[in-house]
Amino acid sequence: MVWVNTIVQGVLLGGLYALFAIGLSLAYGVMRLVNIAHGDFIVLAAYIGLLVVTTLGVHPFVALPAVVVLMFLLGYLLQRGVLNLTLGPDILPPLLVTFGLSIIIQNVLLESFSADSKALEIGPLQTASIHLGEQIAVGWFPLIMFLVALALTVGLELLFARTPLGMAFRATSDDQQIAQLMGIRNRHVYGLAMGISFALIAVGGVFMGIKTTFTPDLGPGFLLFAFEAVVIGGLGSFWGTFAGSVILGVAQGIGFQLNPGWGILAGHLVFLAVLLFKPTGLFARTR
C-alpha cells in the first residue's frame, strides 16, 4: 500500500511537471527554440502572482487569470521584440539570449523580493485531502493541479488539431518559408506560440507557488524537470510530454520513498535511461 500511495503521489506531482513542460514543448515544437529561461519565467510568474495577490488582496486562484494574461503579453512581446531576431539557421543565438535572460530574471527577482522564501496561500484547501483507504490520501490541491494540467493538455491538442491557428502552428513548424507563401505572418505566429507558452508557464508558476515556497533561484531546476519531461515523452505531441511528466513524477516519488536523498536522482536516471535506449522519447510521433 505504501507503494501504491507513492505512485499516486508521483502521478499527481507529474501534473505540476506537465504544467512546466508543455509550454517548453510548444515553443520547441513550433519554433525549434529552446528557452533556457523557461524555469526562471515560471518563478517570475509565481512572483507576479504574489504581487497580484498582495496588492489586490485576492485569492491566488482569482489572481491566476490576471497572471496568465500578463504572461501571455510578456511572451508575445518578448518573441516579437527579442527572440524573433535570434532565430535563423544557427541554433546558438536563441540559447545564448535566453541564457542571459535567465541570469537577468534571477537577479532582478533577488533585488526586488530578496532571497527569503515566499508562498501563495490558499487557506484550508492547501491541506484538505480525500482518504482512499487506510494509507492513501489524495490532496485536493494536487488533484486540482493534475486535472488542470490534463485539461490544458487536451486543450492544446485540440488547438493544434482543430483550429486554423493550430494548422498555422503546424505548417510553420514544418516549413516556415512555405507557410509565408500561404499568407501566414510567421513573426506573428511565433509571437502567439510564445504567448501561449508563457500563459502555460503562468499556470505552472502560480500552482508551483501554492504547492511549495519559492525563492528567485529555483528556475534552472524547473527548466531541467521540464526539459527531462519533454525528452522522456518525445517530441511531436503534448500527450507525450504529459506522459513524460508523469513518468518523471513517479520516478522521483519512488526515489524519495527509497531514500529521501534519491528522489531527484531517480528522475535524472530515468531521463538518462530514455536518452540512452530510446533517444527519440517514449511517445514521439515520428516524422
Partner 1 sequence: MLSVHNLEAYYGDFQALFGIDFEIAAGETVAIIGANGAGKSTFLKTICGLMRTPPDTVRFEGAPIGGAGASEIVKKGIALVPEGRRLFRSLSVEENLRIGGFAGRGGAWTLDRVYELFPILKDKRDAPAPSLSGGQQQMVAIGRALMSNPRLLMCDEVSLGLAPIVVKDIYDALPDICTGGLAVIVVEQDIETALRMSDRVYCFMHGKVSLTGRSAELSHEQISAAYFGL
**List of residues contacting partner 1 (CB under 8 A):** 164, 167-168, 170-171, 173-175, 177-186, 287
Q: How far is the CB of 161 from partner 1 (least distance, A)?
A: 10
Q: Smallest gap, in angstroms, from Cβ of residue 148 to partner 1?
A: 27
Of the pair 103, 178, the CB lying nearest partner 1 is at 178
CA distances, 245 to each of 204, 235, 241, 258, 287 (Å): 13, 13, 6, 20, 22
Cβ closer to partner 1: 121 or 174? 174
Residue closer to partner 1, measured from CB, 181 or 276: 181
Instruction: For residues 56 and 14, give the distance between their C-alpha atoms in angstroms, rounded to a whole number.
Output: 31
C-alpha 10/C-alpha 102 separation (Å) is 28
Partnered with residue 139 across adjacent β-strands are 129
Q: Which is nearer to partner 1, 122 or 184 (CB)?
A: 184
Dist CA 254 CA 192 (whole Å): 38
Q: How far is the CB of 178 from partner 1 (least distance, A)?
A: 5
Give me the least distance between CB of 172 and partner 1, in Å please: 9
Q: How far is the CB of 179 from partner 1 (least distance, A)?
A: 8
What b/e sequence results for 231-249 when a residue is b if at least 16 CB atoms lie within 10 Å of its CB, and e otherwise?
A: bbbbbbbbbbbbbbbbbbb
Whichever of 46 and 168 has its CB closer to partner 1, that residue is: 168
At 139, which helix (H) or strand (E)? strand 136-139
Q: Which residue in this structure is represented by grid cell 527531462?
A: 228
